[in-house]
Structure 1
Amino acid sequence: MLTCRHSGGRWQGKSNSTPWPAMTSWGSLAAIVFLQPSLFLSVVVKRKRQLEIFEGRAGDEYRAMVSWKGIYFVLTLFLGSFFGSIFMLGPLLPLMFFSPSWYRWITDRVVATWLTLPVALLEIVFGAKVVITGDGFIPGERSVIIMNHRTRMDWMFLWNCLLRYSYLRLEKICLKSSLKGIPGFGWAMQVAAFIFIHRRWEEDKNHFENMLDYFCDINEPLQLLIFPEGTDLTDNTKARSNEFAEKNGLQKYEYVLHPRTTGFTFIVERLRDGNNLDAIHDITVAYPQNIPQTEKHLLYGNFPKEIHFHVQRYPVQSLPTSREELQLWCQKRWEEKEERLRLFYEGKKYFDATGRSKIPPCKSEFRVMVVKCISLFYWTSFTLAMFVLLYLYSFVRWYFVILVVIFVMQQKAFGGLELLELACHRFFSKKLRNSERD
């Protein structure tokens, strides 16, 4: 069994709260599954259908069993992303050196097929209910999505919303740079040109400039998800946020953290100047039951029973033009989120009085169900087929090994596939400018 601590009605987020500290990130989970599957599977003594928690007084030690649901979810996503990176994205890598814009167009759509898999698992297999209220998306529009960061998994749960109200192929996410080295997940994120940051503005500013200018140059619609809070809501992060509020004479928050506005204002200004921004979507996410704070809670089978999204759309024409006013605008949105979430959690746990989705989706629920069923069938069949091919054919095994080496070594040599793609784009742009001069 795995051990974790529960104190004062909250799961503690410290890494030393479990004797298995490796189970604190997707990277660690992937490493265990990929490198030491026997160690991973030995944890499961019995197959359990739900998270088992042995109640006791606050502050006592609790024991949680890894559930079959959690194992199935993590393994399915990991193997799909791992084999998808090797056998679906791998053959497309040479296209980067001939036409970065076509490479981007094709790989965005291939990656989007995998993004439907977590949606299918959460809703079909685990029965999660999705409720969306507020404003709708305009299909294909270019936007910045700002969202409160309740758990470390919010970015993945948002796909349940975007599948209905937008196109998953348009989404890019700002993520911490350590995630890009994860086998499978990280490789696919590099191919998808997600923006990896170090959370130090001096280092991140230049990278933001390069990536945002690239998306503007190739005229590919972009929906960029950012978390202005910078980290997820825990007791520790809330204490730091309240300390900041006290020093600066601001309101202390209970349900959100004070946003960091420097990156937000820079992104909005850069995309607006590059004529690649139509709106800002301000999304508030809430979980009435089962809040999976970290990846390890998914292994315990602690999936959300309901995910509520409230969407507010702000056209770019309505946004302030000065940087200072844009910062105040962002802070105002977080004041509204705090009040909205307070009413949600202290009330009936609905953003809307009816408790049902108010806005018509861009796609019918029947169409969404068809997409989810196809995704579940395809990725299950694809994963099994790759195992069979690896077992039967030596040339497939050689191809597999070569691609793994390429994915690992390119990151050491170039820093990531998204940076290599950026370098290729600069090369072709410079070549085009020189030819125009001649």
Structure 2
Amino acid sequence: MNHRTRLDWMFLWCCLLRFSFLRLEKICLKAALKAVPGFGWAMQVASFIFIHRRWEEDRTHMSNMLQYFCHIKEPLQLLLFPEGTDLTENTRARSDEFAEKNGLPKYEFVLHPRTTGFTFIVDTLRKGDNLDAVHDITVAYPQNIPQTERHLVLGLFPREIHFHVRRYGVSVLPRCAPDLQLWCQERWREKENRLSEFYRADPRRFDEPEARVPPCKSQLRVSLIKAGSLVFWTGFISASCLGLWLWAPLRIYFLLMVIFFLGQQRVTGGVELMELACHRYWSSQGGGVEEKEE
């Protein structure tokens, strides 16, 4: 997926919710976010893949996490932003410098993708028999683009969000890394042209005459989910705050959980690494038993 704003992932979640795929979602994202209290801890528990943007360091961790997903055979939908960061004036300038050095065209609506991580992930999942397809997603905002969380706090929500999704089955993906890198770069050239046409169009929309929209939840069901979520989370947050104010055991539990998450991250690096270590241990124990029986 192209990374137009820092909030693209959140808007995509709304889209996935309508098609009942949100429960499978994991994100490959920068490691600094795992330390953010609350949602950073939740992403650790959900085994998101955190990277430091230093390939020699990230390669081993990414390989361990992907092999773990392949081994447990858990259905996986991994969201990648090959551009590495969201589109701003500064990041576009750096992308243009990269284009000049490598004899590539300059882009206005996307950044040049970093293909090393993408090709490694595709190759690892394919070898682990855990890759069904790559979905090429292009996101566009007809008006009112919220670049950061600050815009949402100010109430600057987008009136519309458009997603163009194209599925590429694993059988049509190139087998070798150089060809796969070229394949990814070609998709980004298509994104640039697609977005250029989108923002010139009136009204702004993706022009795909043969587009097929798979069945999704009805508007009534979506409205009920929204209402239920608002009621639940409003009640949960209110009850939690009231409980912390009135009930000492809950305050002790809250403090212990904060200490646990801060402590385990300093000692082990994250809950997802603890999960990975536990899996390795129990796998080795099971392997030892089988060898003795044989």
Q: Same fold (TM over 0.5)?
A: yes
Partner residue of 2:137 out of 283, 295, 305? 283
Q: Distance in 2 between matches of 1:319 and 1:368?
A: 35
**Residue matched to 1:294:** 148
Contact map agreement 1:292 1:298 (CA 8 A) in 2: yes
Q: How does 1:130-141 map to 2 (within 5 A)?
A: none
**Residue matched to 1:196:** 50
- Whether 2:75 is the aligned partner of 1:226: answer no
Partner residue of 2:275 out of 421, 424, 429? 421
Offset from partner CA, 1:307-364 (integer Å, 9 cap, x none)? 110100011111111111111110010000000000011112101379xx95143322
> Counterpart of 1:350 in 2: which secondary structure?
coil
**Residue matched to 2:122:** 268
Q: Which amino acid aligns with 1:378?
A: F
Q: Distance in 2 between matches of 1:265 and 1:353?
A: 28
**Higher mean displacement: 238-247 or 386-395:** 386-395
**Residue matched to 1:350:** 205
- Whether 2:216 is the aligned partner of 1:216: answer no
Give me the TM-score of the superposition, normalised by structure 1: 0.65
Q: Which amino acid aligns with 1:207?
A: H
> Counterpart of 1:313 in 2: which secondary structure?
strand
Q: Which amino acid aligns with 1:350?
A: R
Query: Which consecutive residues of structure 2, in runs of 5 or more, have no partner in the other structure?
Result: none
Q: Which amino acid aligns with 2:217?
A: K
Q: How does 1:392-403 map to 2 (within 5 A)?
A: 392-403=246-257
Q: Which amino acid aligns with 1:264?
A: F
Offset from partner CA, 1:9-39 (integer Å, 9 cap, x none)? xxxxxxxxxxxxxxxxxxxxxxxxxxxxxxx
> Which stretches of structure 1, 4 residues or more, deviate above 6 A after TM superposition?
none
Q: Distance in 2 between matches of 1:247 and 1:225?
A: 29
**Residue matched to 1:11:** none
Q: Distance in 2 between matches of 1:303 and 1:426?
A: 44
- Whether 2:194 is the aligned partner of 1:324: answer no
Q: Distance in 2 between matches of 1:353 and 1:219?
A: 35
% identical aligned pairs: 66
Q: Distance in 1 between matches of 2:262 and 2:20?
A: 33
> Counterpart of 1:306 in 2: which secondary structure?
coil
**Residue matched to 2:194:** 340
- Whether 2:111 is the aligned partner of 1:257: answer yes
Q: Distance in 1 between matches of 2:54 and 2:96?
A: 21
**Residue matched to 2:2:** 148
Q: Which amino acid aligns with 2:207?
A: D
**Residue matched to 1:34:** none
Offset from partner CA, 1:130-185 (integer Å, 9 cap, x none)? xxxxxxxxxxxxxxxxx000001111111111111242110110111111111101
Offset from partner CA, 1:283-304 (integer Å, 9 cap, x none)? 0000111111112222222111
**Residue matched to 2:12:** 158
Partner residue of 1:373 out of 227, 233, 240? 227
Q: Distance in 2 between matches of 1:220 and 1:360?
A: 23
**Residue matched to 1:236:** 90
> Counterpart of 2:4 in 1: which secondary structure?
coil
Partner residue of 2:243 out of 380, 389, 403? 389
- Offset at 1:367? 2.0
- Whether 2:201 is the aligned partner of 1:359: answer no
Q: Which amino acid aligns with 1:251?
A: P
Contact map agreement 1:151 1:294 (CA 8 A) in 2: yes
Q: Distance in 1 between matches of 2:215 and 2:11?
A: 17
Q: Distance in 1 between matches of 2:215 and 2:238?
A: 33
Q: How does 1:159-174 map to 2 (within 5 A)?
A: 159-174=13-28
Q: Which amino acid aligns with 2:223?
A: M
Q: Distance in 2 between matches of 1:283 and 1:314?
A: 11
Paired residues, what number? Answer: 290
- Offset at 1:242? 1.1
Q: Distance in 2 between matches of 1:270 and 1:351?
A: 33
Q: Distance in 2 between matches of 1:298 and 1:368?
A: 21
Contact map agreement 1:190 1:417 (CA 8 A) in 2: yes
- Whether 2:29 is the aligned partner of 1:175: answer yes
